[in-house]
């Protein structure tokens, strides 16, 4: 039997309304290129990733206009939630020959500042783990619980709390079962795995691996890209 392979899966079916980009944020220009092109650059630089699959909305007519020279697989089967889109991507990977034991690294299209060495760090940690895991950051700031009037209701204990990032890396078969069991409301793959009673591995990420969500995030990402040269 062949060794398990690693595939990247990029959900790219959202519209990113909070970003204020006037269209899908994954295609918004960032340092002269669309956001998602920077994401693909990082994934393509990781030699152990056999192929990248991008999952688009069924009516997406912009991808080929904005992303030139993409050599991965494209599936226009995304849904209205992240879980639906990832599930569609897992089915598409099976159509391309992926099997239960293969690893899938699900990565946000708008988390374009990830570095290849972070992805390699995740793979190193997870390929020897029974469950798999995710990049994440230990919470460093004081954590406040707000009331309905946006005033502090209480200060929460931050010890042992982490901020989830992506990629999140799990076996294809396990992830399919987990998403089917957890339903469409889960906001990341690790939550679905937890629903099955498993404990995903937390692998140290980086502050720069943030998700572009608000207009200010684009300005910060632009400055970071400029600093990288």
Residue 122 belongs to domain with CATH number: 3.90.550.10
220 is a domain residue = yes
pLDDT at 15: 63
Residues paired with residue 168 on neighbouring β-strands, in sequence order: 106, 134
Omega of the bond leading into 79 within 30 degrees of 0 (cis)? no
The answer as to whether 1 is a domain residue is no
Range of the domain at 69: 6-228
> For residue 100, what pLDDT is reported?
97
Q: Which residues pair with 29 in a beta bridge?
A: 34
What local confidence, expressed as pLDDT, does residue 228 receive? Answer: 84
- The confidence score (pLDDT) of residue 109 equals 96
Residue-level pLDDT at 3 = 79
Q: Where are the alpha helices (DSSP H) in the chain?
A: 35-44, 63-66, 82-95, 116-126, 172-182, 189-195, 215-228
- pLDDT at residue 22, as a whole number: 56
Instruction: Give strand ranges (E) for 2-61.
Output: 6-12, 29-30, 33-34, 49-56
Pairing of strands 201-204, 29-30: unpaired
Rounded CA separation 111/170 (Å): 19
Residue 111 inside a domain? The answer is yes
80 domain-assigned? yes
Quick one: tokens of 128?
């020897």
Regions of the chain short of the pLDDT cut 70? 1-2, 15-22
């Amino acid at each position: 039997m062949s060794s398990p392979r690693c595939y990247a899966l990029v959900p790219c079916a959202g519209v990113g309304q909070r970003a204020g980009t006037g269209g899908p944020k994954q295609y918004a220009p960032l340092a002269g290129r669309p956001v998602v092109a920077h994401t693909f650059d990082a994934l393509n630089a990781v030699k152990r990733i056999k192929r990248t699959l991008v999952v688009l909305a069924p009516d997406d007519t912009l991808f080929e206009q904005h992303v030139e020279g993409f050599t991965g697989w494209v599936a226009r089967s995304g849904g209205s939630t992240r879980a639906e889109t990832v599930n569609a991507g897992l089915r598409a990977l099976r159509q391309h020959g992926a099997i239960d034991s293969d690893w899938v690294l699900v990565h946000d299209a708008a988390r374009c500042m990830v570095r290849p060495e972070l992805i390699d760090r995740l793979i190193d940690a997870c390929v020897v783990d029974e469950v798999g895991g995710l990049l994440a950051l230990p919470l460093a700031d004081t954590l406040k619980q707000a009331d309905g009037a946006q005033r502090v209701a209480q200060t929460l204990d931050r010890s042992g709390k982490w901020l989830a990032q992506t990629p999140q890396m799990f076996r294809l078969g396990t992830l399919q079962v987990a998403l089917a069991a957890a339903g469409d409301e889960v906001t990341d793959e690790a939550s679905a795995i937890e629903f099955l009673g498993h404990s995903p591995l937390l692998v140290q990420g980086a502050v720069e691996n943030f998700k572009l969500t608000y207009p200010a995030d684009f300005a910060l990402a632009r400055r970071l890209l400029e600093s990288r040269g």
